Structure 1
Amino acid sequence: MAEPTISVIIPAYNAAAFIAEALLSVLNQTSPADEVIVVNDGSTDNTRQVAASFEPHFGGRLIIIDQANAGVAAARNAAYRRASGELVAMLDADDYYLPAFLATARRAFTLMPDIVLFFGDTEIVDANGPTGRLNSEGKPVRTLPAIEIDGLFKVRGSTFTTLLEGSYIPVCAAAVRRATALAVGLFDLSVRTSEDRDFFCRLALRGPMAFSREVMAHERIHGGNISISTHRVDLARNVLTVMRKLRRPEHACLMSDQERSALEAVYKDEFFNYVYNLSSAGWRAYVKGVAMLPADERLAALHPKHLARALAAAVGMSSND
């Protein structure tokens, strides 16, 4: 059986400092990519020039798309639509592969032709270099029920219920069946901070997934603390939007009874989390946020506990919950 073709897609915004390392890691794969697509997402530095300097090394396999800045999800979607490979491997411009990633991904899809996604582990990199910390630490991937097949692991049953709680799939070490990604509608541009979880949940409803416990890529973490209250509200709103969307009939019809029950439980938790964060942000944010909720959620959001919390936040007091 012929191995599947693979397109590597790299969204890049002001990534001149890192994209050479990303492209070099693709160039150094033991099993070469069939094509590499860089989407220059409106960069104002010399990201495009750095990427273009690699064109001679890829022998016509490097494609650069220029677009106005639209965000990482839109850049990935543009690359998916341009890609021709049976598989799409996603690499962010500031991350980089280990040499065996594409070979391992091809082997996984060849051994398990029904899977829709394969992923490996990643090691976290900070400003000082590799940290020794793994993406999988403390995450469900370490306890997923799986069948070992030639050193790789095929998840038994759906990964949907565990992904509902949060994505543990590192984008920079994931390869997706392109036809399935297109079938589920790619990344949702209306979801700004939970787009990975949303995308992987929808993929999980379409077929099994497999993984390697080996480190397949280095994932760069940038500094900066953005855990301010308004950001927490935005995060919670986006997660609730994802859960609300997954309850739609076109997705719910693909779920088992267990998956639907799990979704309802997470939806309720995330609704409470959103309203809690909203009311903690103060009265004005609370009133504005509640007004934007669908009618069936608005009444629950007006519970006296939430009202009291919003009033307390407005006057600088602390409620008891």
Structure 2
Amino acid sequence: MNSLALCIPAYNAAIYLPRLLQSAQKQVIPFNEILVYNDCSTDDTAAVAESYGATVITGNMNMGCSYGKNKLAEVTTSDWIHFHDADDELLPNFTTLAHNWLKTPDCPDVVLFDYEWRDNNTGQLLAVVHFDKNELEKDATAYAIQNQINPFCGLYKKPRYLEVGGYDIDPLILYNEDKAFHIKLAKNGLTFSAESEVSIINYRIENSMSAANIKKCVIAQYHVLEQTVATHGQKYTAELAEELFKNAAVLAKEDAWDYVNKALRLARNLGHKVPSNAGKAFRLLISINPFMAMWLREKLIRLFKPHLRNA
């Protein structure tokens, strides 16, 4: 029961798919299935995918990548699923590392793989993202609350994925559905671990959906945190409050002031009045008037940027 499917949700991805599918063909151990969900693309996404031997499932209307991932999970006959964004790439060692995990006696339900973050135009290495294996295994819910986990770095046990219902397609969490998804998996008891050898490249692409919709992403993150407070707020008060303070800071940057107020209020309702890493002056001000403290901080950052950006 170690079959492995590469599942790719795709919308107008014809320009990027060759790179990913070529990298899939270079794996030492072939994928058992390569599936592409064509989300009503208006370009040659389906034709390009088929030219590389992928099985294409085409939707009747554009529903978004979360719906596409759920549909691919339903269709695949493999025991394990690896989702991948159409504009990213696999290194040749990915399936070898994956099968090493699948052969272990007590393989966790979710394995996360470290990845490189590179500029799409120049290939410049921007960062290497590592997951903390010990923290994941100790408390996956806390880790998922505090860290962004993207689907292109995950290996998922299909029966467990289907058991919890896969991705939620709630429009409130659109643009931050990956964080919601991994919190959901952890909250439902799926076990997590991490592979430390890098095997994936994630590319920074100008005008990508996330880059073009930062405000929508950070508002969606608020709703993910709000939903998590409703279900796990009593156990993870500190972790959630810290994320809400961070969320409020980015919301302020995006001038989403009504949501700044909501995030600050929710953090305080959890019993935390100040962020743990704030300076003395900011801690004092935010304890007195949270909204005014965040407003003043953002105005100062805009005036003296970049000197106060990380204050």
Q: Where does residue 267 of structure 1 map in the other structure?
A: 240
Q: CA deviation at 1:241?
A: 1.6
Q: CA deviation at 1:6?
A: 1.1
Contact 2:2 2:99 in 1 (8 A): yes
Q: CA deviation at 1:9?
A: 0.3
Contact 2:145 2:240 in 1 (8 A): no
Letter of the structure 1 residue corresponding to residue 57 of structure 2: I
Tell me whether 1:145 sits opposite 2:134 in the alignment.
yes
Letter of the structure 1 residue corresponding to residue 228 of structure 2: L
Q: Where does residue 149 of structure 1 map in the other structure?
A: none
Change (3 A) 1:49 1:170: same
Contact 2:23 2:92 in 1 (8 A): yes
Q: CA deviation at 1:127?
A: 3.1
RMSD: 3.8
Q: Where does residue 175 of structure 2 map in the other structure?
A: 193
Q: Where does residue 6 of structure 2 map in the other structure?
A: 8
Return 5+ residue gaps in structure 1 as ranges: 56-61, 147-154, 253-258
Q: How many correspondences in the alignment?
A: 281
Letter of the structure 2 residue corresponding to residue 88 of structure 1: I
Determine which of 99, 106, 123 is the counterpart of 2:92. Answer: 99
Letter of the structure 1 residue corresponding to residue 142 of structure 2: T
CA distance in 1, matches of 2:253, 2:125: 36
CA distance in 1, matches of 2:23, 2:101: 20
SS of structure 1 residue aligned to 2:156: strand
Contact 2:133 2:194 in 1 (8 A): no
Contact 2:117 2:202 in 1 (8 A): yes
Change (3 A) 1:200 1:98: same
The sequence identity of aligned pairs, in percent, is 22
CA distance in 1, matches of 2:168, 2:179: 11
1:105-124 aligned at under 5 Å gives the runs 105-124=98-117
Q: Where does residue 152 of structure 1 map in the other structure?
A: none
Please give the TM-score of this superposition, normalised by the length of structure 1.
0.72
Determine which of 57, 75, 84 is the counterpart of 1:65. Answer: 57
Q: Where does residue 216 of structure 1 map in the other structure?
A: 199
Determine which of 17, 20, 29 is the counterpart of 1:19. Answer: 17
CA displacement 1:23-61 (0-9 Å, x = unmatched) = 122222211211111011121111111111123xxxxxx
Change (3 A) 1:5 1:279: closer
Q: Where does residue 79 of structure 2 map in the other structure?
A: 86
Please give the TM-score of this superposition, normalised by the length of structure 2.
0.74
Q: CA deviation at 1:12?
A: 1.0
Q: Where does residue 46 of structure 1 map in the other structure?
A: 44
